[in-house]
Structures are given as structure tokens and as C-alpha cells.
Amino acid sequence: MILVLLSLGVPAIFPARTEAALAPPDPFPTPKPLKPAQETKLKVALGEFFTASAEKQGQWKFSRSLEHLLNENEPAVRRAAWEAYSAAPIHSALAKDYNAKEVRFDKHRSSYTVKMVGTRPTNGWALFIAMHGGGGAPKQVNDSQWQVMQRYYREHPEAGGYLYVALRAPNDTWNGFYDDYVYPLVANLIRQFLVFGDVDPNKVFIMGYSHGGYGAFAIGPKMPDRFA
């Protein structure tokens, strides 16, 4: 059985592993309920797949009965696959950071705040990542700039529901938002919200002021597939 799901808005085919998160299944029709026996068998198979190594996933074959189930009730299978992927142990560290409102890459760590604006759209929340000014300054200055960014922009619920994430730079250097470590760090942040934050992968935006604005100009062109 091959499941074609969305990864950050780009098709991804199982059994191959992708580094980006799979998109939530909201864009698909409401599934018909699975029979209890079907649901149990599917959950077991998907759980085994998502806990397997990348090498084993690349050689994985699902049973013919699950192939048939995919053909007759694709929305339900897609939803079950997404739920199994989200709950897989591979995301335990990601979940821990998400609950702590922080994101990591290598030795670098950034805290963030989250503000929910408006009502959740049908396909999930839009995500706005906002980066503060400052840069090459004492920690107190950059902390203050981060606090300003948490309330810097006027809310626009009429534009559709969104999550406003104010990201603290991982350090206090002049290029804290546009050094090499920033790109995978921001990719991990986006992945957190796709997996756990009910975010629409086709509505992810990044912006900033001053130091953060330079960061947005650097990050956007180098990671264009991650943003709307």
C-alpha cells in the first residue's frame, strides 16, 4: 500500500521517509467511519510502519486487505495515517519542545510565545512567525525587543484565524536570525506546528522588524517551499 500525503504542501509518498511534516488531512472529504476490526488492523500496521527504521520503511509492504481499504475509503485511511504519524515516537522530542514553547537545532535553542487570533479556518490555522529587532546587543535589550514583538502588530481576525508566534533569537549576536543554524531551527519550528498545532501547511508566513526583518529576507528565499 502506498499512501500519498502532503508534506508542507508538497506531495510525499510512503513508504519513503520525509524530513518535513505531513499535512493534516482536513482538505480531504469527511471520511466514512471504519469498522472496528478495520480500524484496529490499520492502526497496528501504521504504528509498526512509523516506528520502523528508514531502511525498513523503504521496503515496507502493507497487506492486500489494507490496499483494498485504501481504495474504498481513502479519506479515513489518510486521517488514520496522519494520526499515527503525529503520535509516533519519532516526535517525542518535538512534542516536548512544543509543550515548553521552545525550538532547537543542534546546540541552539529559541523560546517563543503563541497568540491565537480569530477563529480556526476549515483547513487549520495560518501560522505567522514574527522575529524581533535588536541583534548585536546585551541580552536585556534583545529580551525587551522580543517582548515588544509579542504585541508589535495589530491583530486582524477578519483576515482569517491564525497563530501569531513571536520567536526569540537563539543568541544575542548581530546575525542571530540569519546564520546557518537558523534555517533548520525555523524548519523545526514549522514542523512543530504542523504536527501538533493544527496549522494549514499552505498558510505559513515569516516576518520581522529590523534584525528580524533581515532574518525574514534571509530565511524566505532560502526556504521558499516552507512558506505561502
Query: Confidence band (pLDDT; 50, 70, 90) for 32?
Result: confident
Residues 6+ apart with CB under 8 A from 77: 3, 31, 42, 66, 69, 70
pLDDT at 48 exceeding the cut of 90: yes
Structure confidence by residue, pLDDT tens digits, 106-158:
999 999 999 999 999 999 999 999 999 999 999 999 999 999 999 999 999 99
pLDDT band, residue 76 (cuts 50/70/90): very high
| pLDDT band with cut points at 50, 70 and 90 for residue 16 | very low
The mean per-residue pLDDT over the stretch 170-186 comes to 97
Tell me the whole-structure pTM to 2 decimals.
Answer: 0.80
Is residue 25 scored above 70 in pLDDT? no
| pLDDT of amino acid 31 | 74
Q: Give the model's pLDDT for residue 27.
A: 52
CATH architecture of structural domain 93-226: 3-Layer(aba) Sandwich (3.40)
Q: Which is more confident, 42 or 17?
A: 42
Is residue 2 scored above 70 in pLDDT?
no
Cα gap 97→116, rounded to integer Å: 19
Is pLDDT of 8 > 80?
Answer: no
Calculate mean pLDDT across residues 21-37: 67
Cβ atoms of residues 110 and 187 within 8 Å: no
Residue 19 pLDDT level (bands cut at 50, 70, 90):
very low
**Closest Cα partner for 181 from 92, 99, 109?**
109
pLDDT of residue 120: 96
Domain ranges for the chain: 4-87, 93-226
Range from 19-33, 56-70, 173-187, 210-224 carrying the lowest mean pLDDT: 19-33
CA distance 93 to 74: 30
> Which string of DSSP letters, residue by residue, matches 38-86?
HHHHHHHHHHHHHHS-HHHHHT----HHHHHHHHH-HHHHHHHHHHHHH
